[in-house]
Amino acid sequence: MNFGTGSSTGRVLVVDDEKPLARMVATYLERAGYEVTTTHTGPDAVQAARTHDPDVIVLDLGLPGLDGIEVCRRVRAFSECYVLMLTARGNEPDRLQGLAVGADDYITKPFSVRELVARVGAVMRRPRTTATVPEPARAFGSLVIDLVAHEAHVDGKPVGLTPTEFDLLAALSGRPYQVFSRRQLIDIVWDPGWVGDERLVDVHIGNLRRKLDENPGRYVDTVRGVGYRMAEQ
């Protein structure tokens, strides 16, 4: 396990069993000003996430000990850090499963390290809460969204949302009568410079809906051919 000596720009945990690749990624991130930890197995990744409390984890799916899916699942039990998965090109089932257990974004191998650094920078620019000043909680029927606490409750019970799921909910609830396209949601939640498969939004919206209610359209409507909006209550 290696530790970078970067500034306070942010802490990044790089997890890949290909040690030369992990070291190269770490070097680029350190040059960009991040404090970087590298590790190469699933169990070490979970322990490093507990010990170093990273802001972002760059997580390969093919790891010894525990695969990246299980690492992500375990990390989500104690951390709201952003998770950027590294996946094999064309391996869509793994990508979908990774997003389902709490990953925020993915990049396919082989990848440009500069693009990866840009993706890390994009998630680091995302605010941890949407409200810049105290704001009353937003209520939609039984759903209550507290932007200051970064929490959502349904029927008074907390809903365990990932940072990306909450950010999508915050964006939609901020303008409840507006229909947002995938691209608009990417610009708000990810970054205007984000490039990739915009169906990523559909996966996160699907996860969000399932967590909020068994009826997938109760709180978030699909407007065919356009995008998504908060459902009328």
User: Both 145 and 81 in a single domain?
Assistant: no
Rounded-to-10 torsion of CA 14, 93, 113, 24: 40
Residue 167: domain span: 138-230
131 in a structural domain: no
Domain end position, chosen among 124, 149, 175: 124
User: Both 38 and 113 in a single domain?
Assistant: yes
User: Both 84 and 183 in a single domain?
Assistant: no
Using CB atoms within 10 Å of the CB of residue 41, give its burial: 0 to 12 exposed, 13 to 18 middle, 19+ buried. Answer: middle
Structure confidence at residue 89 (pLDDT): 62
91 has a pLDDT exceeding 90? no
**Are the CB atoms for 131 and 147 separated by under 8 Å?**
yes
152 Cβ contact partners less than 8 Å away, ≥ 6 residues apart = 143, 144, 145, 146, 158, 159, 161, 166, 169, 212
pTM score? 0.74
Least confident span in 34-38, 59-63, 212-216: 212-216
User: Both 142 and 203 in a single domain?
Assistant: yes
Domain end position, chosen among 94, 124, 154: 124
115 has a pLDDT exceeding 70? yes
Number of structural domains the chain divides into: 2
